[in-house]
Amino acid sequence: MPWWIGTLIGGVTLALMNALKKGMDITALNFLCILPLLITVQLGFWYGFRHGDNFTVTWFTGSAMSATSAIMISLLYFKEPFKYTILVGVLLIVAGQFCLTR
């Protein structure tokens, strides 16, 4: 499995975990529900950093995946209105990740 798949899994799971945590009270039961997601985030990023060629490339890819996933979750799950500034933000994230990894 390529390194970027682990980073993708870590980034998407991080955004999902933050979205789920946003609507929950802090209780032991809710913590137990989020714990598997937290472990998945750590293992995904660990795999990306372990098998990636360059630390900064993996870091920038994980940051871009987390931010883009958070934007998509806020649009789809929280039903926030779509604005063109969101599209510009996603394009700038992807372009910045591409420039920083080259």
Give the chain as a 3 state SS string. CCHHHHHHHHHHHHHHHHHHHHCCCCCHHHHHHHHHHHHHHHHHHHHHHHHCCCHHHHHHHHHHHHHHHHHHHHHHCCCCCCCHHHHHHHHHHHHHHHHHHC
The pLDDT score that the predictor gives to residue 5 is 93
Return d(Cα 32, Cα 19) in angstroms, integer: 16
Structure-block tokens of residue 36? 């598997």
Specify whether the CB–CB gap between 19 and 78 falls below 8 A: yes
Return d(Cα 71, Cα 76) in angstroms, integer: 9
pLDDT by position in tens, the chain (length 102): 899 899 999 999 999 888 887 777 777 788 888 889 899 999 999 999 999 888 888 888 888 889 889 888 888 888 888 889 988 998 998 898 888 877
pTM assigned to the model: 0.81
